[in-house]
A and B are shown apart, each in its own frame.
Chain A
Amino acid sequence: DAGITQSPRHKVTETGTPVTLRCHQTENHRYMYWYRQDPGHGLRLIHYSYGVKDTDKGEVSDGYSVSRSKTEDFLLTLESATSSQTSVYFCATGTGANSPLHFGNGTRLTVT
């Protein structure tokens, strides 16, 4: 949807290793978001961006950092992965405040 590509689609990593997930969009949407989806919790916002180099924390930001150096790319980094970060991560984009979000197909991350 909205030309959103997440990479990788699946990743298995070990506790303590750094991990970077990438979100790439082709629609020139201003706003970009990272959510995690866990059973019984729905989707929870990790970080979001409202422009190049403009980012802010969401509900569950501890242990995560983000960067946005270009409009089309939004990176999510786990500096030192933990088992509690095993989840499905979704990138989303939006065109304006309160606009519907468009989602990528997700990245399934397993931390062993």
Chain B
Amino acid sequence: AQSVTQLGSHVSVSEGALVLLRCNYSSSVPPYLFWYVQYPNQGLQLLLKYTTGATLVKGINGFEAEFKKSETSFHLTKPSAHMSDAAEYFCAVSDSGGGADGLTFGKGTHLIIQP
């Protein structure tokens, strides 16, 4: 069974500072990996995804993530935080076995931006 661990339920950074949100996964097969963002009282929006190919993936709003198989990690970064980045972020995994049984999500990281 696959699983996702997000380190830190809350992360606080200053505006303009580097954002780093950590995600480690467990999967018995090559994974498909996703990052989602959730703003208050809204659904989840896709930030970026990794399926195959290039391990550095660029997403919307200046975010990017790097798939590191040896570390089973898919950390999310952004060089310079903006106040509008304050939200809940979820990492998710799907095995590549062809099943359609949805994604497995981490418990989320609440990103706080300090002015």
Interface contacts (Cβ under 8 Å), in number, total 68
Give A40 to B104 CA distance when docked, in angstroms. 15
Q: Is the interface of B mostly helix, strand, loop or mixed?
A: loop
Q: Which residues of A contact B (CB under 8 A)?
A: 1, 4, 30-31, 33, 35, 40-45, 48, 50, 56, 58, 90, 92, 94, 96-98, 100-106
B77 at the interface (CB under 8 A from A): no
Binary A-proximity of B99-111 (CB < 8 A = 1, otherwise 0): 1111111111000
Q: Which residues of B contact A102 (CB under 8 A)?
A: 46
A42 touching B49 in the complex, CB below 8 Å, given contacts A100-B34, A103-B44: no
How many chain B residues touch A (CB < 8 A): the figure is 27
B102 touches A101 (CB 8 A): yes
Which residue of the partner chain A has the closest CB to B43? A103
